[in-house]
Each structure stands twice: as structure tokens, then as C-alpha cells.
């Protein structure tokens, strides 16, 4: 996979070849043996019908009147080279002089693989490129500039797209000064210097009013308006030229053609004026096509199919604890993924020296980043090698150290989605604090992130809650539900379900019905409901089960309670009634509690964890970090007095909550769903005495009769 992430590599062409031996046939013909080295292993010519491989002469030589025909091709994939017998033909006196100057070592052309499978057949493939530009503002495909597409006529002929380029009035000629330039050009060819064609243009003379007619033993140079090609190869179609016309074998325009490709070299004999040049097109490698994600219908259809994504990840090479990534830009690529398409890296733990050693820290971090399997793809996007928009598949969620690269402007424009299978290589299904921060940043920068979740067998999208810098992974069909939902939550014991299932079910059912009766920012007929728990057993499992049975979005903030040998923590398995989730490592337990952000909290009897959660809801309301909404305490009044009252009264008597005693009017002890619905109805109708101007309850909460 990494072999094609090379800025010099195009898979339909080879590098320029040099003359290894040359012999004279007559004064206008020579036979050269051309050797081509350093051919990419991905060169398509290795695998297609040899008759489709063509020798493409340097256009600099063709514009002088030379033509070159490959007569024998010997490809050596093992040594990444080829030997080609090329017959050189001089058309006109200038080319005859140039032919005499060609010697061993001169670079004269390359191979082009005219792969039928890559031929552009539908004009729409090209039409969508008109008016679009690359990241530097250069037209992707145009004749004459960004808006010059009207001069490019596209037709479908014999099952392929043909463009007819209208010719400008006049022809290109030379004066005798060109002969003095030929020895310099011959030396430049031995050095394989770039931009020789631009030097040749210094000797061109544009003569208007001259008929564009080809004459025997003369080269005809004609001109179009400047052609821009960034998305395809173009090739002159000889058989569509008027009878008697032939184009030289410098007939392939590469996809780095910008404001050039405007001179065409023809020979033959005809009395017919030439009006246009017919071109056919061949596609680039998918990652270089400058294709927009919105144009990839097949890819988008595949991404809507969970089985297709699970199957794509199954093609990643083993073992599964190793890191692996692949960048996908089209549906057929995803459908045909294999192990060789992925970049894989061994997983190594790194001991970072920390900020007290900034130079070492920076060096090790840089090496660590470059070791990540997604880095070559992101770097290729950044450097402009990958130009098509696509998706990144990562076996493990990328390290937060890649954030700088992921949020690079060019990467952001090109990377349209990120999919991963496992949150962490070292912590299984649990995200770190830095992971969650990067998830928020990716969401804000418009890069959607998806979890191909083995537990639920669903595709979950990371979704931010409105006005909150936190979110959950939500099934695709429920994303909008989560965004709009009023979130209720249940806090309670992980050891006991309690006897509240029926009352909780009645309470939630009543809220669903109440939506039609009230109009409040948190509840109206258009407002969906979501219920959030810690995702474990006991009261949490009971609550998620109730929500699921009522069609309410069932959510969980799941923490890693696996034993670390440092404390006594009950193992809390994830309950099976969860739709949407976020996961936390144990060292971020407090942070996880702070990210519940419940609109309506509901407490059932619980232990130390629930005590902390109760206090946190008090603090939120006291400090104004959340809106003042009612909190329901479901259970026996005596139980809640023992839990709450003594602490509230001691704080009140000692003056340590002076001015905040009103917080007591945010908590309502209920035994039945009917009582809870009464409190909530009054709140949603703005009739509940709650907040700083409300009453103070001696128990620390209001007992609802």
C-alpha cells in the first residue's frame, strides 16, 4: 500500500527511459534501445495485454518533428525495469538535425499503459469537474481557464468519452535560430532536465492566417487554448483525425498539465483543414482523481450498510492487536479491500520523558506519530498526493497525538469520515480523556467519527449534544433523536434493581404523553426523550431496560471498573439495553460524572456513587452551571431523610450554605409516578416554585403528597 504513496508515481506511466544503444537505418530513421529504470511495482503495464502498452515520446522532440514507434517491449517486474525497441523517424529538416544529435544516455520517452478498464466512458465523469479547482485554485479540467469549459466539446463515441478541442487560427513555425538550440537540447536530454519544452517555446513563432493543412514530410504544429488537466490522462485518438492525418506518439497528456498541452504535432498528407483535436481519457488511481465524496454514490451506499463496514475491517491483516489503517475513496475500492491495501504497524508502548525534557519529548513524539499506520495517508493528503475525498478506516481510534495532522486544513477538506473498530489498543473499549477531547475537536471541525461497534453490531456516530462539549456514540438512525432529546437520567445502586421498575415505566410513559399537553423548551410534542445511566447492572440495567421497552433512546456513560488491584470495586458489566454510549477509563471517573448533563435527574436508592452524584446535582444548581430543573427522588421518604436531611440541616445551622438553602426546592421526593408527573407538569407549565425565589424545605427536599 505504501508503495503508491510516492509523489513520483502514476500507475499508468513509467519514468522516462534513456537510450541504451542506437543505430542508423537511413538518414531519417534510427533504431534505439531504450532502458527504463525504477518502474513502480504498481505499473499497470505489468498485468494488462502487452498490445495496450505504448511508447510515448517526449513532446519536446515531437514538436521538432520527431516520431517514435515502439516495436518490441520487454518488461522485467522483478528488477523494476523495461527494455524497448523504438524506431525513430524524422519528419522535416529540423527533426533530421535533432535525430543526428541523439546519443546514448538521452532520455526520450516513457511507457503508457492504455488500460481499457480505466478508459472514461461517461461524459458526466468529466462534466462534474468543470468549474472546480484544486487546493491552489487551479482548474481541475478546463480549456482556457476555470470557466473555459464551453470550448471543450464532449461526446460519447464507441463507448468512450471524446473531447474535441477547437483549434486557434494559425500554425506554429520556427526560424533558423532553432538549429543553434538543438545541441543544448541534446545535452539537456542526457541530464533529463525538466522544462525543456518551455525553452523550446522561446523559438516558436505563431503565424495567424496560415491554413492548418498537413503536408508530406513536414510537421504541422497547431494550437488550442491552454488546457488544464488535473483529474485524468488524455490521449489523442488518431483514428478520429481527418483522413491522411496522424499525430506523433507524443500523444498522452499527463494529469499535471496546467495551462499547457496546447500544441499538437501532426504529420501525413491531406488537403483537408484540421478544425479540432480529439482526445480520449483514462482515469487516475482513485486517490488522485480529485473526486468529491458527494460524487461517490457507491461508496455512500456501502457506508449505509453495517455488514459492508464490518466486512471491510475483516480484511485488515492480523494480528488484531497491531495497528492498521486504510484510506478509501470509492465504493469498488471498499468492496474489494484486501490485506495488502492496509498499512499495518506493530504496537509498541512508548515511555515519553514529559515536559521536563521538551527536546526529547518532541523527538519521541514525532517518531511515535510517524509510526502510526494512518500517518502516511494523512501526510499524503497534506502534501497533495492524495487529492480525492474519502474515508479513513482505523482498526484502533487514532492517537490524540495525531490531532494536529487530522485538523490540518488540507486533511480536513479531504477526510470526510473516520471509522474505527476499537477505541484503544491498550484499554480495549475505553476512551482516554485526550481521546474524548479529540472527538469534540473532530466534530467541531466537521469530520464525522464512527465506531464500528462489535458489541452492538451497529455503526455508531459520535454526536455532540447541543450547547455541550460532550457527546455519545449513537446509532445512525437515532442521531437526530439524540441531538434534539431532553435527557433524563437515573442514578442508583449497581447492586440492586430495587422495586421501582413499574413506577419508572409509568413515569416515562406519562412524560411521553405529556409532550402533547405542554409547550416548554425541554418538552413539547416535537421533543424526543433520552435516558442516560452508568450502563452497568442493578438500577442502571433496570432503567435502560424500561427506556428500551418504551422506545426512548437508551444511553450510558460506561466506566472501566475492571479490577486494577488497587481498590475494592464491584465489577460492572455493560448491560444489554444500551443504544448510545460513551466510555471512560477509571482515572476519569469524576470527569465522567460531570459529563452526565441531565435535564431531569431521577434518583433511586444507591450507595457511595449515588451520594456523590446527588451532591454533584446540588452543586450544579447552586453554581448555575446547569439550568434550575427539578430532581426526583424515587423511594420512601424516611430513606431520603436519612440520606439527605441531616447533612442539609448541619450545613444550614453552621452557616456554610448561607444563601444557598433554596437548593432544597429543586429536589422532590416521590413514591409514585403520578406524584412525579405532577411535579414535572407544574414545572413545564412554569407553576413550580423552584429556584432562588422559591421556598426552603427543612428536609433538604420537598416531600410530594
All domains of the chain in start order, with CATH: 2-116 (2.40.30), 123-170+208-284 (2.70.40), 289-454 (3.40.140), 475-705 (3.40.50.450)
What's the DSSP call for residue 121?
A: -
The residue count of the chain comes to 705
Three-class DSSP category at 93: helix
Q: Alpha-carbon Rg of the chain, whole angstroms?
A: 36
The CA distances from residue 472 to 462, 476, 531, in Å, are 6, 12, 12
**Regarding beta strands 66-76 and 17-26, do their DSSP bridges make them parallel or antiparallel, or are they unpaired?**
unpaired
Q: Percent of the chain having pLDDT more than 90? A: 73
How far does Cα 242 stand from its chain's mean position? 46
Q: Identify the pLDDT of residue 589.
A: 77
User: Looking at residue 229, what is its pLDDT?
Assistant: 81
Which residue blocks in 81-195 are alpha helix, DSSP H?
93-101, 123-127, 178-191
* Model pLDDT for residues 298-353, shown as the tens digit of each residue: 999 999 999 999 999 999 998 988 999 999 999 999 999 999 999 999 876 666 66
In this prediction the pTM is 0.86
Specify which residues 670 forms β-bridges with: 634
**Mind listing the pLDDT tens digit for each residue in 579-618?**
999 999 888 877 887 788 899 999 999 999 899 999 999 9
Helix, coil or strand: residue 608: helix
Residues contacting residue 453 through CB under 8 Å, at least 6 positions apart? 459, 460, 473
Q: What is the pLDDT of residues 244-301, one digit of tens each?
A: 999 999 999 988 766 556 899 999 999 999 999 999 999 988 888 888 898 888 999 9
Dist. CA 268–CA 251, nearest whole Å: 15
Specify the 3-state DSSP secondary structure of 96.
helix
* Residue 541 vs residues 80, 529, 606: alpha-carbon distances, Å: 62, 18, 13
H or E stretch including 460?
strand 458-464
Task: Give the Cα-Cα-Cα angle 516, 517, 523 (nearest 5 degrees).
Answer: 70
Residue 32, SS3? Answer: strand
Residue 148 has pLDDT above 60, yes or no: no
Q: Which residues have C-beta within 8 Å of that of residue 400, sequence separation ≥ 6?
A: 432, 434, 435, 437, 438
DSSP class of residue 294 equals G
Q: What is the mean pLDDT of residues 139-158?
A: 72
| CA–CA distance, 10 with 39 (Å, rounded to integer) | 10
pLDDT at 405 over 70: yes
Q: How many CB atoms lie within 10 A of CB 33?
A: 18
Cell for 389?
Answer: 475525498
Chain-centroid distance, C-alpha 463: 17
Residue 542: phi, psi to the nearest 5?
A: -60, -45
Q: Are 155 and 126 in contact (CB under 8 A)?
A: no
2 or 486: which leads in pLDDT? 486
**What pLDDT does 497 receive?**
84
Residue 456 — φ and ψ, nearest 5°? Answer: -90, -15
Cα separation of 560 and 571, whole Å? Answer: 9
Q: What is the sign, positive or negative, of the torsion defined by CA atoms of 569, 574, 579, 580? A: positive
How far apart, in whole angstroms, are the C-alpha atoms of residue 87 and residue 99?
11
| Range with lowest mean pLDDT among 173-182, 220-229, 408-417, 630-639 | 220-229
* Listed residue (596, 602, 598) closest to 679, CA to CA: 602
Q: How confident is the model at residue 402 (pLDDT cuts 50, 70, 90)?
A: very high
Question: In the prediction, which pLDDT does 197 show?
Answer: 85
Can you give the pLDDT at residue 1?
A: 54
In b/e form, how buried is each residue of 490-519, taking b as 16+ CB within 10 angstroms? bbbbbeebbebbebbbbbbbbbeebbeebe
Phi, psi (degrees; rounded to nearest 5) at 430? -120, 130
Task: Pull the grid cell for residue 129.
Answer: 469537474
CA–CA separation, 657 and 663 (whole Å): 10
Q: pLDDT tens digits for 371-395?
A: 999 999 999 999 888 989 999 999 9
Q: What does the pLDDT look like over 175-230, one tens digit per residue?
A: 889 999 999 999 999 999 988 888 898 999 999 999 999 999 999 999 988 777 88
pLDDT for 449 beyond 70: yes
Q: Determine which of 78-87, 131-140, 412-421, 582-591 has the lowest per-residue pLDDT on average.
A: 131-140
pLDDT above 60: residue 566? no
pLDDT score for 10: 78
pLDDT of residue 363: 79
At residue 705 the predicted structure's pLDDT band, cuts being 50, 70 and 90, is confident
Q: Which residue has the higher pLDDT, 573 or 354?
A: 573
Would you say residue 568 has pLDDT above 60?
no
Give the rounded percent of residues in the chain with a pLDDT score beyond 70: 94
Question: Which residues contact residue 597 at a Cβ distance below 8 angstroms, ignoring those fewer than 6 apart?
Answer: 465, 468, 470, 487, 626
Angle (CA) 241 243 247, round 5°: 45
- Whether the pLDDT of residue 569 is over 60: the answer is no
Q: What is the DSSP string of 521-589?
A: TTBSTT--EEEEE-SSSTHHHHHHHHHHHTTPEEEEEEE-----SSS-----PPPS--SEEEEE-GGGH
C-alpha cell belonging to residue 283: 482515469
Measured between alpha carbons, how far is residue 375 from residues 399, 664, 694 in Å?
11, 54, 57
DSSP assignment of 480-495 equals: HHHHHPEEEEEE--SS
For 495, the grid coordinates are 447492586
Who has greater pLDDT, 574 or 677?
677
The predicted model gives 633-648 an average pLDDT of 96
Of residues 590 and 669, more confidently modeled: 669
| Residue 174 to residue 176: CA distance in whole angstroms | 7
**DSSP designation for 411:** H
Would you state the pLDDT for residue 496?
Answer: 86
Three-class secondary structure of residue 425 per DSSP = coil
Please give the sequence-ordered ranges of beta strands (E in DSSP) within 65-183, or none if there are none.
66-76, 81-90, 107-113, 141-143, 152-157, 160-166, 171-173
Predicted local confidence at residue 652, as pLDDT? 95
Contact 415, 447 (CB under 8 A): yes
What are the grid coordinates assigned to 472, written together? Answer: 455519545
**Are the CB atoms for 555 and 594 separated by under 8 Å?**
no
Asked if residue 280 lies in contact with residue 237, where contact means CB atoms within 8 angstroms, the answer is yes
Please give the DSSP secondary-structure letter assigned to residue 28: T
Q: Does residue 4 carry a pLDDT above 70?
A: no
For the cut 90, the answer to whether the pLDDT of residue 512 exceeds it is: yes
Residue 89 has pLDDT above 80, yes or no: yes
The rounded Cα 168 to chain-centroid distance in angstroms is 42
What would the grid cell of residue 1 be?
500500500
30 CB-side CA count, 13 A: 21
Mean pLDDT of the chain: 91
Q: Give the Cα separation of 498 and 92 in Å (integer).
A: 99
Amino acid at each position: 500500500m505504501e508503495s503508491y504513496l510516492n509523489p513520483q508515481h502514476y500507475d499508468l506511466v513509467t519514468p522516462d527511459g534513456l537510450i541504451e544503444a542506437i543505430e542508423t537505418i537511413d538518414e531519417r530513421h534510427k533504431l534505439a534501445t531504450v532502458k527504463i529504470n525504477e518502474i513502480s511495482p504498481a505499473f499497470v503495464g505489468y498485468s494488462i495485454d502487452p498490445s495496450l502498452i505504448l511508447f510515448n515520446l517526449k513532446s519536446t522532440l515531437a514538436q521538432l518533428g520527431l516520431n517514435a514507434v515502439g516495436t518490441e517491449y520487454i518488461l522485467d517486474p522483478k528488477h523494476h525495469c523495461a527494455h524497448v525497441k523504438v524506431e525513430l523517424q524524422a519528419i522535416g529538416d529540423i527533426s533530421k538535425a535533432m535525430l543526428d544529435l541523439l546519443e546514448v544516455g538521452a532520455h526520450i520517452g516513457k511507457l503508457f499503459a492504455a488500460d481499457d478498464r480505466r478508459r472514461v466512458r461517461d461524459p458526466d465523469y468529466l462534466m462534474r469537474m468543470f468549474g472546480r479547482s484544486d487546493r491552489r485554485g487551479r482548474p481541475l479540467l478546463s480549456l482556457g481557464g476555470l470557466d473555459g469549459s464551453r470550448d471543450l466539446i464532449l461526446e460519447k463515441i464507441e463507448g468512450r468519452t471524446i473531447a474535441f478541442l477547437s483549434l486557434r487560427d494559425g500554425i506554429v513555425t520556427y526560424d533558423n535560430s532553432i538549429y543553434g538550440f538543438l545541441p543544448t537540447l541534446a545535452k539537456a536530454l542526457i541530464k533529463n532536465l525538466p522544462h525543456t519544452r518551455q525553452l523550446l517555446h522561446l523559438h516558436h513563432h505563431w503565424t495567424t492566417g496560415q491554413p492548418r493543412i498537413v503536408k508530406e514530410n513536414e510537421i504541422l504544429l497547431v494550437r488550442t487554448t491552454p488546457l488544464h488537466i488535473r483529474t485524468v490522462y488524455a490521449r489523442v485518438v488518431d483514428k478520429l483525425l481527418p483522413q491522411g492525418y496522424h499525430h506523433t506518439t507524443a500523444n498522452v497528456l499527463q494529469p499535471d498539465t496546467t495551462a499547457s498541452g496546447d500544441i499538437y504535432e501532426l504529420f501525413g498528407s491531406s488537403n483537408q483543414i484540421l478544425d479540432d483535436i480529439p482526445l480520449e481519457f483514462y482515469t487516475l488511481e482513485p486517490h488522485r482523481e480529485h473526486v468529491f465524496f458527494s460524487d461517490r454514490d457507491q461508496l455512500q451506499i456501502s457506508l449505509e450498510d453495517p455488514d459492508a463496514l464490518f466486512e471491510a475491517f475483516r480484511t485488515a491483516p492480523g494480528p488484531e492487536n497491531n495497528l492498521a489503517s486504510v484510506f478509501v475513496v470509492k465504493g469498488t475500492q471498499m468492496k474489494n479491500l484486501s490485506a495488502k491495501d492496509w498499512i499495518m504497524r506493530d504496537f509498541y508502548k512508548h515511555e515519553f520523558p514529559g515536559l521536563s525534557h521538551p527536546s526529547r519529548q518532541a523527538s519521541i513524539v514525532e517518531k511515535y506519530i510517524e509510526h502510526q499506520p494512518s500517518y502516511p495517508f494523512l501526510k499524503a493528503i497534506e502534501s497533495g498526493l492524495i487529492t480525492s475525498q474519502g474515508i479513513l478506516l482505523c482498526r484502533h481510534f487514532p492517537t490524540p497525538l495525531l490531532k494536529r495532522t487530522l485538523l490540518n486544513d488540507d486533511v480536513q477538506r479531504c477526510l470526510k469520515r473516520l471509522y474505527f473498530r476499537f477505541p484503544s489498543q491498550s484499554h480495549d473499549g475505553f476512551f482516554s480523556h485526550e481521546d474524548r477531547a479529540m472527538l469534540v475537536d473532530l466534530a467541531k471541525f466537521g469530520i464525522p467519527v464512527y465506531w464500528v461497534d462489535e458489541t452492538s453490531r451497529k455503526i455508531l456516530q459520535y454526536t455532540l449534544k447541543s450547547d455541550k462539549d460532550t457527546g455519545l456514540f449513537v446509532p445512525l438512525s437515532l442521531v437526530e433523536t439524540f441531538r434534539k432529546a431532553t435527557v433524563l437520567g437515573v442514578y442508583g445502586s449497581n447492586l440492586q434493581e430495587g422495586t421501582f421498575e413499574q413506577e419508572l415505566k409509568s413515569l416515562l410513559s406519562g412524560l411521553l404523553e405529556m409532550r402533547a399537553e405542554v409547550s416548554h423548551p425541554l418538552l413539547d410534542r416535537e421533543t424526543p426523550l433520552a435516558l442516560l445511566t452508568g450502563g452497568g447492572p442493578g438500577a442502571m440495567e433496570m432503567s435502560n431496560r424500561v427506556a428500551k421497552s418504551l422506545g426512548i433512546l437508551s444511553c450510558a456513560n460506561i466506566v472501566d471498573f475492571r479490577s486494577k488491584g488497587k481498590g475494592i470495586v464491584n465489577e460492572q458489566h455493560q448491560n444489554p439495553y444500551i443504544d448510545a454510549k460513551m466510555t471512560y477509563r477509571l482515572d476519569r471517573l469524576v470527569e465522567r460524572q460531570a459529563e452526565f448533563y441531565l435535564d431531569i435527574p431521577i434518583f433511586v436508592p444507591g450507595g457511595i456513587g449515588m451520594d456523590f452524584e446527588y451532591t454533584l446535582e446540588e452543586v450544579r444548581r447552586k453554581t448555575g452551571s446547569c439550568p434550575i430543573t427539578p430532581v426526583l427522588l424515587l423511594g420512601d421518604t424516611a430513606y431520603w431523610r436519612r440520606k439527605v436531611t441531616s447533612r442539609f440541616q448541619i450545613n444550614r445551622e453552621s452557616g456554610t450554605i448561607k444563601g444557598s438553602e433554596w437548593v432544597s426546592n429543586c429536589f422532590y421526593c416521590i413514591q409514585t409516578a403520578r406524584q412525579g408527573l405532577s411535579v414535572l407538569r407544574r414545572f413545564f407549565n412554569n407553576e413550580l416554585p423552584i429556584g432562588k425565589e422559591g421556598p426552603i424545605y427543612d428536609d433538604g427536599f420537598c416531600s410530594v403528597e
